[in-house]
Amino acid sequence: MTGRVTADPCLISDLQSAFHPKAVAVVGVSRDDVNPPPGYTGLRIFRQFREEGFEGRLYPINPRATVIDDVPAFPSISAVPERLDLVIITIPARGVPQVLEDCIANGAVNVHICTAGFGETGEAEGKAIEDRVREIVRRGHLRVVGPNSMGYHVPASRMKMYAGVQLTAGPVAFVSQSGGHAQNFTGHGPALGIGFSKVISYGNALAMDGTDFLEYLAGDPETRIICVYLEGVKDGHRLVQLARDIGRTKPLIVWKGGLTDFGARAAVTHTASIAGDDRLWRAFFRQTGAVQVGSIEEMADAAMTFLRLKPISRSRVAVIGGGGGGNVATGDICAQEGVSVPPLAGETRRSLLSLLPPVNQSIVNPIDGPAALYNPALLGEVLGALTASPDLDAVVLHVATALNLVTTAESRALLKSCISGFGARGSGKPVVVAVEGLERTPADVEDIVREMRDAGITTYSSLRAACRSLKRVADYYSFQ
């Protein structure tokens, strides 16, 4: 199948009102949080919307209350005096079918079922309730996300589904079959300069799965990069077509869970998904150009790289480090991650020979050049020579905190000033930093990396992460 996917205008319109709702009801809002059940509750979700400044109208639904947190409560969806743009259901599974019937009567199309306890349990009762829910959804033409999901997290609309994370708006969307991964990514992303347009946790995918949301995001002007975590998919052909279409204009970064036998078994119990054959997924990535990652950290690094760097279609890099033994390991890491470290020749080599003293240093790529790392003015000239080379696509500064190169505020300020100044006058080729902790604590390294990123410098917590991200970005643009 090679044709482009034609967007469903009704789907796009319905999801638009779900992502930017004016009237939201939360079903199952308790009057207080005394002895709350485990997991997310209707009261918590209701309060998060209010605390974050949701500007639409909120309706708490509780048949035993008339007021909750000074907001009028209603006994059911049927009693709400206007048509709802989104209904969030947090009551036990057995009560969900009646709420869906009430949604149909209200005219509410978008429904988020937060509740678990359906087919994913493997129990007869859960499967029977799911079958009944599926019939109501089809009959009422409802757009249901879930069950067993965290639904929609939309910073621009002040819709917060994940406690303890910032509402940071930006151009990255995340479609996740796992609510936990969605929460981790929304919490981890802002430290890398990543803000979110839409975050969608769709759980069991009873009515809508990842492809429905990809169809929307493909044309969403608020989204420039799309990240996906999935365990299974209903329509593989549709996913392939969408991935090809999206890739022409937006990077699609995919973490596919359940590629091993153990992971596949866990996927069945988590969201009742059939994970699929590893060979089929390798073919998917090869044929679509989607960017494959294997963790939230890798996904975040890749998204940061796409956001911060100009396109490169090859991954030929120069690495500047300090220490001959370390550079041997550097060469190995680059090779293992598929990054080319070509020898320096011609004008580039002559320029470096005139700049770097020959004592205890080497201009064989990877470059053993501690003098440049200690001297920002010299480093600027070295970077200029390297980025002018037609044989290189990027430069990586491999900085070990154990060598005290970035351990003081003064040295970090000099390094940041040099790199930032170079970027303003340079060729536009990426200059990135990889920080290695060695004997320093992870917290120290994280603080240094965060400070560098806050200064606008693309910084990774290891050389391997830097190489892996540069290779993925180069492969994406090369495929396109």
pLDDT in tens, the chain (480 residues): 446 777 899 999 999 999 999 999 999 999 887 766 556 799 999 999 999 999 999 999 999 999 999 999 999 999 999 999 999 999 999 999 999 999 999 999 999 999 988 988 889 999 999 999 999 999 999 999 999 999 999 999 999 998 889 899 999 999 999 999 999 999 989 989 999 999 999 999 999 999 999 999 999 999 999 999 998 888 989 999 999 999 999 999 999 986 544 444 443 344 444 445 788 899 999 999 999 999 999 999 999 999 999 899 999 999 998 765 567 788 899 999 999 999 998 999 999 999 987 766 788 899 988 888 777 778 888 998 999 999 999 999 988 755 555 667 766 776 777 776 555 444 578 899 998 765 555 666 777 788 888 888 899 989 999 999 999 999 999 999
- For residue 232, the model assigns a pLDDT of 84
- For residue 252, the model assigns a pLDDT of 98
CB distance 389 to 311 below 8 Å: no
C-alpha to C-alpha distance for 143 and 151, rounded to whole angstroms = 12
- For residue 161, the model assigns a pLDDT of 92
- For residue 358, the model assigns a pLDDT of 73
- For residue 263, the model assigns a pLDDT of 40
Would you give the end-to-end CA distance of the chain in angstroms?
A: 19
CB distance 241 to 1 below 8 Å: yes
